[in-house]
Structure 1
Amino acid sequence: MFNAFFRKISTRRFRRPLWIAAIVFVLIGCISTGLFFILKNSDAKGVISHREIAKLWNEGNIEKTIAESRKATEAFPFDEYYLSMRGISAYYSALDAQDEETRQQLLEESVISLRKALVIGVPSGMKAQIFYVLAKAYYQKGEPWFDLAERYFLLARNSGSKEKDLPQYLAVVYAGKKDYEHAIEWFELSLKGDTSDILTLSAAISYKNIGKNDKARELLASLETHATDAKIRLKAKLLLAQDSYESGDFSTALQRYEEILKEDPLNADAWYGLGLVYAKKNDQLGARAAFRKVVQIDPNHADARKRLAEKL
């Protein structure tokens, strides 16, 4: 009897609320669907399609691509394609920015848009490219962001990215983080193909920092004679002069510093190195004169000031 009574009570008490709840859910669903289509039709005014955005991009019209993708993401904030195109076009717009503030704003827009797209979910075929551009955006933001640049470059590579400069970026990122062991791994991979002067210089510095001085000298010597960028060629000469000084070959160091100063008379690093060489050769007057020249060129050169304050 107790069971029969319980079943009777259960039916009376709960059948009606269940029907009411079902009706309420249906009404809510209808209202939500209606509102969605109303808002969609309203927001879609003036928004171009995915195909049209892609056409603008393929035509090389970056300015129009970013303008239209911004408009599209305002109307459809959860559309991963519009977000992706906004992020990619913002990155390439940043490269052409005329001032640093605008550049950083565009890079931040790129990062936010691409990360939103990844959270929402982009097709697997797009992931490698999204990771790659996101990594470059973090790289362009500077060394404080190199950890994230490393993360997304590796994700791009593991997702199948075939970008030829990816090893070069990873090499420079690791060098910037002073992780020279990993930097060398990527430099060696990069140096197998066509390389730039700046990459070769970064590789030489990394080799030097892990004690592979012979390899560093080899790369610096090649830059000294073949670098097309005059600043990089001068930097290579300076590093070779420093290497001679550190090796105890003061005559070669002196010759190298003098050659640099013939080419660049206001090179404070070369004057400072010259002062160190004179000090080692017990030419105190020459050393002090060189250190004074450093301070004239760079009044904030702490090492030169310290040397002048010391009794040589």
Structure 2
Amino acid sequence: MSALYVSGSSGRRRGRRSFFFIGIGVFLSLILAGGAFFFWKNEETMSQSLRSLLEAGDYIALKDETEGILEENPIDQHALLLNAYANFMLGMGEIEEEQRQEFFDASIVAFRKLLILRSLTPEIAYMLGKAYFHKGEFYADLSSYYLDYALSKGYEAADLLEYLGLSAAREGDYSKSSEFFLRAKDQGKDSPLLDLALARSLIELGDYDRAHDLLLPLAEQSNREYQVEALLLLGELHYRAQRYEDARDYLEKLVQIQESAEAYFYLGEIASHAGDQIKARSFWRKALQINPNHLLSLERLSAH
């Protein structure tokens, strides 16, 4: 898991936001479990064959069968509802990004068609907001709109607050994102990825001490992925707080565990701040060796 995020220009801000979505498939797949039957509880007239496929979690077959129904009757509401849900779940389980996006597109289309036939409900808003979230940062406003609607209507779901926090972060509203993440923790939700996401929001708000307290245990634990991300955030945190020696210590510890373009970029920034341009360029070149598309390192090498 890696991200490109530093302080400063708008381009950097766009890069920073990518942090929130490291490991997000794992994060959201964990909190998604248990919500499969959230809005069919009142769909008593659903056919037994569709209900059986839903309960079995056979989303490919459910998708195929509902598509067949919709070919004959494009306004069958049960088929639209289940087709939207099946496509969403297939998108959540898909690794290949192009296919993943096709599933989410199909899910959104089915939900939107359904909304021509029935009023928006909190349950549909919740699922539509999640589908838009997985479409990417350019859909963050739509994601937040539908998720906020669900919350405002009193809808409860295990992952609603986390999705709201992540969507707010994508929009750059870190006060709102930290509020949602803290509410999730107050409700007993606890995971390293939630702590990482909350720490990122706190860093963006300049609340370095609280972010540090969240990150330090993660930097010392045995899980390598969480440790790497925590060390990188600690390095950035101290860099932004102008505590350059502390920042260098965390970043050097990180690259001993796993080479990181972002860590080398920050080490270059620290060396440049100390006036050692030769060393800084060396670090930026290392960043580009790991990630040839690391734009900030390219910018620095072009400027120095």
Give the shorter-chain TM-score range. 0.7 to 0.9
1:94 CA drift (Å): 1.8
Q: Which has the higher contact order (CA 8 A, sep 6+)?
A: 2
Contact preservation (8 Å) 2:70, 2:76 = yes
- Superposed CA offset, 1:27-48 (max 9, x none): xxxxxxxxxxxxxxxxxxxxx9
Q: State the alpha-carbon separation in 1 of the partners of residues 142 and 200 from structure 2.
A: 23
Match of 1:199 in 2: 194
What is the distance in 2 between the residues matched to 1:252 and 1:232? 19
Q: Which residue of 2 aligns with 1:84?
A: 81
Of the three residues 169, 173, 181, the one matched with 1:179 is: 173
> Which position in structure 1 is the counterpart of 2:58?
61
Deviation of 1:307 after TM superposition, in Å, equals: 4.2
Counterpart residue number, 2:218: 223
Report the AA paired with residue 200 of structure 2.
I
Asked if residue 95 in structure 1 is aligned to residue 92 in structure 2, the reply is yes
Deviation at 1:50, TM superposition (A): 2.5
What is the Cα deviation at residue 305 of structure 1? Answer: 4.4
Report the CA distance shift for 1:239/1:114 in structure 2 as closer, same or farther (over 3 A).
Answer: same
Query: Are 1:269 and 2:262 matched, yes or no?
Result: yes
Q: CA deviation at 1:237?
A: 0.7
Cα deviation, 1:159-203, whole Å, max 9, x if unaligned, reads 442211100100000001101121122111012222332222121
Quote the residue 1:259 is aligned against: 253
Q: TM-score, normalised by structure 2?
A: 0.76
* Distance in 2 (alpha carbons) for counterparts of 1:121 and 1:292: 57
Instruction: Determine if contact 1:197/1:227 at 8 Å carries over to the other structure.
Output: no
DSSP 3-state at the match of 2:158: coil
Alpha carbons of structure 1 residues 67 and 259: separation in structure 2 relative to 1, 3 Å: same
Q: Secondary structure at the match of 1:78?
A: coil
Q: Residue 242 of structure 2: SS of its match in structure 1?
A: coil
* CA radius of gyration, larger in: 1
Deviations 1:107-133 (A, max 9, x none): 1111111122222116x9xx3332222
- Secondary structure of 1:191's counterpart equals helix
Cα separation, 2, equivalents of 1:278 and 1:249: 13
- Segments of 5+ residues of structure 1 without an aligned counterpart are 1-47
Q: Equivalents in 1 of 2:97, 2:59: separation in Å? A: 19
Would you tell me which structure has more helix in proportion to its own residues?
1
Q: How far apart in 1 are the matches of 2:265 and 2:46?
A: 61
User: In the alignment, does 2:201 pair up with 1:209?
Assistant: no
Distance 2:263 2:175 in 1: 29
Structure 2: unaligned runs, 5 residues or longer:
1-44
